[in-house]
Amino acid sequence: MNSIQIARITIGFSWIYHGIFPKLIHVAPLELAMTSTVGFSVEASYLITKAAGILEVIFGLLFLVFYRMKSIVYLNIAGLTMLLLFVMLQMPSLLIEAFNPVTTNLPLIALSFTLLNRADECGTHNKGG
């Protein structure tokens, strides 16, 4: 398996996993807490968390299929960056916890840039996005 496929599968799997397990199968209390920091009620936070889980699974599947499109890779980078900034602003104490957004989002962002750079070297990306 080459580096492009490793990056593609790792990024797609991460979105799918984070959509299914802490949001759809079992809504993790931390997920609800993060959503609640914006001011939503517990009930609304629960629904928003479930919706986010569905969107994450869909994005992960789309990423697995359309990983050659620069636009989806850049969307991935933007999404991961925004989620990290959200945690930094809303719940900065999470940044020093085990398995925190820094140790998950930054490596996925790095893999995204690796995917972009490697694909450009191989000429496999859709230039139009």
Residue 129 pLDDT exceeds 70: no
User: What are the tens digits of pLDDT across the range 82-128?
Assistant: 999 999 999 999 999 998 999 999 999 999 999 999 877 877 555 54
Instruction: Give me the mean pLDDT over the 35-41 stretch.
Output: 95
User: What are the tens digits of pLDDT across the range 42-98?
Assistant: 999 999 999 999 999 999 999 999 999 999 999 999 999 999 999 999 999 999 999
How far, in Å, CA of 74 to CA of 81, rounded?
10
Give residue 103's Cα distance to chain centre: 12
Q: Which residues pair with 69 in a beta bridge?
A: 126
DSSP letters for 27-52:
--HHHHHHHHTTT--HHHHHHHHHHH
Q: Is the distance from CB of 87 to CB of 32 less than 8 angstroms?
A: no
The residue type found at 51 is: A
pTM of the model as a whole: 0.91
pLDDT value, residue 125: 54
Higher pLDDT, 8 or 1: 8
